[in-house]
Amino acid sequence: MQDINASIDVDKRLWAQDIAASKAHANMLEAAGLLSNEDARAILHGLDTIASEIAEGRFIFRKEHEDIHLNVETRLAELIGPAAGRLHTARSRNDQVATDFKLWVRDACDEIDRAFLDLQRAFLDQAEAHADTVMPGFTHLQTAQPVTFGHHCLAYVEMFARDRGRFCDARARLNVNPLGSAALAGTSFALNREMTTKALGFAEASRNSLDAVSDRDFALEFLGAAAIAGVHLSRFAEEIVVWCSAPFGFVRLTDAFSTGSSIMPQKRNPDAAELVRAKSGALFAASQRLLVVMKGLALAYAKDMQDDKATVFEAFDTLALMIAATAGMVRDLTPDAARMREAAEGGYSTATDLADWLVRAAGVPFREAHHIAGRAVKRAEALGLKLPDLPLGELQAIDARINGDVYSVLSVDASVRSRTSFGGTAPQNVLSQIQFWRGKLA
């Protein structure tokens, strides 16, 4: 029973939040006349002593005391005597743990936000260095149209901005103070809940005691945001794996973020990327795990909810590591501009530019222009030529409306320069978006 019931091995991580909430509660009890000045001073001094002991590694966590709350309370009694028992006036472990956990998740949202900010800046640095470095853009992992590596990097800046927004939204919704809800029904003591709300940095006090102690939406939202962020990190990791492979050779990682083979001396494996890709699964599983725990619980509190913290802590650690590793890889990688250009020039990536030219220069309806460009690609394939190298006579044999001006749009450089629509890949657009994001992230 002790082994399954105790959570101290997990929730000792809440010690700073538990002591902060206890200090806020003690100050409020004193202000409300529910705790003498002498007892309040003793409690606050005792809590500070415990905080020092834990921070310095001198505190002994005991499984027989179940959780962080009873471990702190028991040690407080050892330090100051019976006055320690007055601290639990007008509160329950139910509102206590909800408060502590919310404070921890709020801090976790802030830490993840800072980590993503650093990652965005790493991508911006690469984007600025390669605003005009041409590479193939893909759909279905098939060469589609030329883009710039800078534009590709900015796509991830956008993704991680949405991730930051989700954690920010989750933080705002969780910032409601449960302390004072007691076990489930509130309390008969005249509390000043606004005082603890302000002391702990919450935006407001909870309005329903049943919901306050049974709510774990904040943990579910954190895990949901983490799972989506894991998708984005895994997608980039997959690109690193593909780009580092010999058939692509688009980027190179140093030994700092790759490993060798135990038997093949020529190998440089992008293991950091592969592990980021793998670890995303843990984030998906964490979200599902807590959803399954919560789905069958009637109001208010049930011990099932004790399992929430291990799930969230593990997800936070995993996500933080994934972000750090990804930022490291982004800063470490070196694009091979020549190889990227070579790949972009293959696969007839400027076929759409030919169709667009027919629309602009010859007034051809796009669907017809699309068909003409397709015939040009087939002819180039038959002759073993790239599209810009297809002789004018061959193009005019396909459609007489084509003239020599068409070659001004068939190079990959001309293609990317032409994509000047808002959000497009043109180098001038990339530089403009970099400037926008630098200002926004500042």
Q: Is 415 a catalytic residue?
A: no
Q: Which of 140, 188, 262, 421 is catalytic?
A: 140
Q: Is 287 a catalytic residue?
A: no
Secondary structure in 3-state letters for the chain: CHHHHCCHHHHHHHHHHHHHHHHHHHHHHHHCCCCCHHHHHHHHHHHHHHHHHHHCCCCCCCHHHCCHHHHHHHHHHHHHHHHHHHHHCCCCHHHHHHHHHHHHHHHHHHHHHHHHHHHHHHHHHHHHHCCCCEEEEEECCEEEEEEEHHHHHHHHHHHHHHHHHHHHHHHHHHCEECCCCCCCCCCCCCCCHHHHHHHCCCCEECCCHHHHHHCCHHHHHHHHHHHHHHHHHHHHHHHHHHHHCCCCCCEECCHHHCECCCCCCCCCECHHHHHHHHHHHHHHHHHHHHHHHHCCCCCCCCHHHHHHHHHHHHHHHHHHHHHHHHHHHHHHCEECHHHHHHHHHCCCCCHHHHHHHHHHHHCCCHHHHHHHHHHHHHHHHHHCCCHHHCCHHHHHHHCCCCCHHHHHCCCHHHHHHHCCCCCCCCHHHHHHHHHHHHHHHC
Q: Which of 52, 261, 408, 432 is catalytic?
A: 261
Catalytic positions: 140, 261
